[in-house]
Amino acid sequence: QAQLVESGGGLVQAGGSLRLSCAASGLTFSNYAIGWFRQAPGKAREFVAAISWSGGRTNYAGSVKGRFTISRDNAKNTVYLQMNSLKPEDTGVYYCGAEVLGLGNENSPYDYWGQGTQVTVSS
């Protein structure tokens, strides 16, 4: 049974940093692209960043480019999202998804999802 578990969320002041983790189990992690999405209250889920199954391609939403960095450690079955210069509009529940042999595209049909971790950025 494939499982994704997000962690690292919390409350931070604007301008601060957080590092989110997405730990996977029950799947061949190195075969999966991992994407991060977020959902603010009353809004639709939106794409944040993704990394291809090989790690050779990354993709970012325009709103986070230059501030967020996605990376993967296949030895630990984990993908990280380093978030710097956080803004109040980054607040939301952050989810990771896994797509087999994916290229990290925004609109890919992700196969598995985690339960999410809350990120709150105060002004």
Quickly tell me which residue has 């990290």 as its tokens: 104
5 pLDDT band (50/70/90 cuts)? Answer: very high
Residue 46 CA to residue 94 CA, distance in Å, equals 10
Alpha helices (H) along 29-89: none
Give pLDDT tens digits for 87-120.
999 999 999 999 998 888 888 899 999 999 999 9
Inter-CA distances, 107 with 34, 37, 88, 92, 104, Å: 12, 11, 25, 20, 9
